[in-house]
Amino acid sequence: MRAIESRWPAQSDLELGRRALKVLVLQLLGRSVCLDGFVALCALLGLDYDQVLRQTTRSFPANHLLESIRRRPSPALLEFLARRLAAFDPIRLECRRRFRAGFLASLPPRLSWPGRGASVHHHWVVPVLARERLTALRQAGFDATPGSSLVVVPSREGGQPAHQAHRMLAETIYLPLHPDLSPTQLDRLRKSLLA
């Protein structure tokens, strides 16, 4: 593996800095005040803000995926990774898991979300089958999005089409769900989702 990796081009610290800046901007957009301003700016420019965000967050171009991921990490990235691993806090991870589990358990059974029966969830966005609630969620200040890079794998020749998978993707929206949400925001999220 090391011999193979040694032939790959190295990521520069400058590339890493650009990615870090993009993540910082996206985190700022996660705050409703910033998101409202961004949505208004996109509307003024005649752009679909959700499409702009989707293009911005797509890390690798689909037609150059392997070339994009076959890179040696920059020295700064390795240093950052070492610090994160040394400071890993399983208690914090468990608190986040409980936070999400508590919110998800408060949703009624009529609301379907993929993975509901899974015993462990570590997601920071939650897929729910509630496309009809998208406008209400956005009006309430939540960056719910229908966008996804997921696709239904075509069936083998002669196989049954995956109608349920197509339906799920067509109805799925992704809710932001992170521990920074206040109890008031969580309640507003729940009400917007269930109204």
Structure tokens at 144: 């719910």
pLDDT value, residue 130: 86
Would you kindly state where each structural domain of the chain is located, as residue ranges?
A: 1-88, 90-195
pLDDT value, residue 149: 67
- Residues shown for the chain: 195
Nearest of 151, 177, 178 to residue 165 by alpha carbon:
151
Structure tokens at 190: 């729940």
pLDDT value, residue 183: 83
DSSP3 helix / strand / coil % (the chain, rounded to 5): 55, 5, 35
160-175 b/e (C-beta count within 10 Å ≥ 16 → b): eeeeeeeebbeebbbb
Considering the domain delimited by 90-195, tell me its CATH architecture. Answer: Alpha-Beta Complex (3.90)
Q: What is the mean pLDDT of residues 120-147?
A: 80
User: How far is the C-alpha of 32 from the C-alpha of 195, rounded, in Å?
Assistant: 20
Q: pLDDT digit string (tens) for 34-53?
A: 777 888 888 899 988 878 87
pLDDT(170) > 70: yes
pLDDT(117) > 80: no
pLDDT(167) > 80: yes
Structure tokens at 105: 């358990």
Give pTM, 2 decimals. Answer: 0.64
